[in-house]
Structure 1
């Protein structure tokens, strides 16, 4: 049996994300210089400063652990454990003074994804989970357990669209026939029951974007898989909850719509994070290796 995550590590990761978030907030309200990477994507001084803060704390506390960060790449380790850091997820929004960004931290051990943290510093909201420890929502000083919604019917499911401006016409119309598509909602909305599913397609999301998602959604009672039902990240085994693959309502819908989705142009880059104990199993993208983000058209992540 896979052991639960160390609670002390969970607490440390949450505290680290909040300390990083304090610096993000400070730089957001003070303003920061924006420049461009060689690939044309934006980066701010705040991105670099926040990642440096996180790396410094990790090096002091866990010097043998590997660290991968969006801005500074990989610092090799010898422990077999790894921290994955996205200092500001949503740099476009940060740079344009739109407060819908977050700081993401994930921790992986020899058993796979163990801890995931998504901290929204301006909203003072943190969603976090430890393997076998449940999923939690913290707003200010109040912390409560959180779960995905209980909807089991695919037709009309509230489905958040991520990167919809880059979706193919075929993908958009295929989903529109069955689910209720909306431009509001994200992973945080999914695990707090405000949306029933999330589809991320078109523009790419890299490893640091995806790393916290499997453990957060799984511990909240949801299911995260690729389109073919496989794990989203290397070493990650999506927990198939009772009825997830054979739900009496979801499975017939899956059989009806999956073949069309598989053939859609660009669907190999589509990530689908379905919620609920009897939810349909559609896909979340490969994103197999750490790589540099190509933000493309602005999207809320």
Structure 2
């Protein structure tokens, strides 16, 4: 059973996820305009960010608001390492490692914090990172950002970048599900549900909290790299501390503690508003009503709604199968 509550094995899930990624790669470029294809690429990057947030908040129950900071650290780290002459793969590994190390540096001094104290501390860290990106002009070029980043030469090639992003997101999704269903996932959920009980049975909660920061930061750094590859330029406004609330909303609407929820929440929050733009000034109100309805009537988020519908259909199919068997037995 996967972390999302379905009965799919990891092998079956991998086939489903890879098949869905290939299907999206084949269909979306043919069915979407250039603008909406770019929105789809941004949606995939947001899925990475929410998957990372899902580790620390959804699975671990630690209120972190620093995902936008790790997003920026990964993007700028990747860009500056390329500028130093490192090849793209080496620069990417270095940027992810840098994000993970900063996550460790943030996780260690905040071990004793929880709840809104931890949220405020991580939000302050996000604000510090944003100010550094704006004011450290000698390194980051300040508010003007950095342009003409070579990357892998696909900036602006939205159809080709779609395949790259689909492959990365599919791997990141499967990695999260694999971790969540393993022994580490059990310890993480024990930390979320009852830290004292988890510590009593031998779980090193301090080490686990730091690990969650590291994994979450690595996912954020990977999303930053993907953003650079997609856009070919970066500026501090993309990584502003206010954006962290958008990622939090995606995680909550999709369903905390659900990998599927991270995907659905990012799609709803990123792609759907663009589809509603034909309503002009009313589209924000309509989208807001949709979010309120989801949170009010489906506390488990969109993933809970999808999984409950799947279980209902499965039970209905099983009941039909049993009734058919009974009918044949009576006929015999």
Same fold (TM over 0.5): no
TM-score bracket for this pair, using the shorter chain length: under 0.3
Which has more radius of gyration? 2
Query: What TM-score, normalized by structure 1, do the two folds share?
Result: 0.23
